[in-house]
Chain A
Amino acid sequence: MDLGTLIPQFLPEFVLLGAGLLILLGERVGLERREYFGALSLAGMLLAFLLVAADLGTPGMGGLRGVSAGQVDGAAIPGALYGFSSLGLWFQEFFLLAAGLVALAFLSRPSVERGAAVSYALLIFATLGMLLVTLAADLVYLLLALEITAISSYLLVGYTRRDPRGLEAAMKFYIIGALSAALSFFGASLLFGAYGTTSLSVIGHSWPSGSGGLASAGYAFLLVGLGFEVTAVPFHMWAVDVYDGAPDEVSAFLAGGTKKVGLFAFVLLFTVPLLLVGSLSSATGSARESIQLSLVVLALLTMTLGNLLALLQPEMKRLLAYSSISQAGYMLLGIAVGTAPALTGASLQILAHVLLKTGAFLVVAAVSALGIGPLVADWRGLGVRRPYLSAAFALFLLGLAGIPLTVGFVSKFVLFSALVQAEGWFLWLAVAGLLNSALSVFYYARILKTMYVDKSPTAEETAPARSGEPLGADGLGWGRAGAIALAAVAVVALGVYPQPVLGALGTAAQHFLSLGL
């Protein structure tokens, strides 16, 4: 395979790579101001977004990618490292959306800051890794792409190099990431040992025949390794500390972006094994049922514990981190069931979460830039002091709770009704999900009450605003304000009129599943 065919196939990815390298080059030749780097990375992300959108818009998607029509959503080619599926391309759009919102908000950090260029370049490289994950058809390719994202995000967490909390978060993130990588690699090596190939579809179809438990052990190691990545309980402890210590915009990217990559890796790894549950001989079927059961247990633990711990949190960022953990549980549930509607629901839930969580963390970033403290109690009376910002935050919280007219309601509705349709004991999963949603309303309502009902702190209680030149958009910074507004508009737009995205995602999920058979 020469570059002439490779570059068109990976055009959006090459655009991002070019933008990242240009930013680093720009810093070398003496560019200093954040605005240049920000504009360059936003341009790169927008171009990549449009290119992927063009791919999705072309029927058969032959056009821009330079892949023949049969290659998209076509049967897996034996030995291929990567393949194009429309579901994967949709996820590329989600990831580019999260990265774009964060890049926009990043503009509101100090204009001349050490590491400004590096932080943008790392953001781009992390996004590049995320895009590559969605194309993976091979275990080693998948792990390589995951590592590109992971390594960029460790550095992104500690990019300021001056903030002890950020560096400490980077260290913890790094240790856990290395642990998870070692476990995933070991799992991959066992799967290779069992079937003599690293092709995801071959492994998925062969399992569990003729491996003497080797492959099952491999899947178990991968489940744990990737479990760290998606902050599934009991592998979640690092997430709260890391989200807390990282710069606020980076927390938004971690919660809204990189975590979803692990979820898509789950889709790639476990969809084929799960698809054939029930349609197989008893021995094979029961092995597959065991993997489904472990995914379901993981999902239930994750959403319940995440919600319970969030109830007790007095700090805003840590509370959002726990709520983000619990949301991962819903998505895992959709993946575990393995029917087309459930996969659609999980994908939509991931899109909803990208918008809602990124938006919520960006509001936290804006509020802390105003000099308001990290506790929920510090937000007393914010509804009066900052009506627009509070309205946006309230919208994101309502979306996370799943209130109608937000995208959060649509995604939960699709997901839970898919669980009900799947019949059997899946019905109880829908009940568990609904109960958990009800539980989560408690702490979201508590924040809303603090913001709108409680009295503002008196003047002497409030900390003085941070020194330095005042930011535009009433102290929020235009970049942040723009990103928050965009996310809020998208939340409502998709909540009121979800049909186009819903329909397209449904078709993509169906294609993806029929590929696996």
Chain B
Amino acid sequence: MSDPITTASFLGLSGALLGIGLFGILTRRNFILLLIAIEIAINAAVLNFVYFAAFASTPASGLNGQSAAVVLVGLAATEIAVGLAIVLALNRLRGSINVTEATSLRL
């Protein structure tokens, strides 16, 4: 196949996306940026599904992957919506969306 994209290079891309997302989740102080990091991390999985579906061996398997990707996109949107609700409530309560300022519970 003359296709320049190999599975290994593709997994490198989605792995990098996941890595960037996880790094963001663990280091970001601003809740909105943290939400963006979550979105990036989840999209790594969506991209994987799309890629594997495109090169699936049977049509049924391809449809399986594509539908999984659509479901995950919906889930990611729900997850972010809930995150935004929590941000709004936090902001209303203490006027800040900085994650590190929420320290009333000890770790």
Contact = CB atoms under 8 A, between A and B. Distances in A.
Q: Could you say which interface size class chain B belongs to?
A: 35 or more
Max chain A Cβ within 10 angstroms of own Cβ: one of B44, B71, B89, B99: B89
A190 B68 CA distance: 12
Interface in A127-184: 140, 143-144, 147, 151, 154-155, 158, 161-162, 164-165, 167-172, 174-175, 178-179, 181-183
A241 interface: yes
A175 B93 CA distance: 19
Max chain A Cβ within 10 angstroms of own Cβ: one of B45, B56, B85: B45
B103 to A, nearest CB: 8
Interface stretch (A191-199, A294-302, A323-331, A435-443): A191-199
A244 interface: yes
A182 B44 contact: yes
A241 B85 contact: no
Contacts of A178: 25, 38, 41-42, 79, 83
Contacts of A245: 104-105
A186 B18 CA distance: 8
Interface in B46-84: 46, 48-49, 51-52, 56-58, 60-61, 64-65, 67-68, 71-72, 75, 78-79, 82-83
A185 B105 contact: no
A69 interface: no
B89 A151 contact: no
B13 interface: no
Contact of B45 (A165, A188, A244): A188
Interface in B22-55: 22, 25, 31, 34, 38, 41-42, 44-46, 48-49, 51-52
14 contacts: A144-B71, A158-B86, A161-B92, A167-B86, A168-B103, A169-B105, A179-B25, A181-B42, A181-B79, A182-B38, A186-B14, A189-B48, A241-B107, A244-B105
Interface of A: 79, 140, 143-144, 147, 151, 154-155, 158, 161-162, 164-165, 167-172, 174-175, 178-179, 181-183, 185-186, 188-190, 192-193, 196-198, 237, 241, 244-245
Given A151-B78, A169-B105, A198-B65, 15 more contacts: A151-B79, A162-B93, A167-B102, A168-B105, A171-B90, A178-B83, A179-B22, A181-B75, A186-B41, A189-B14, A192-B48, A192-B68, A196-B57, A197-B61, A241-B106
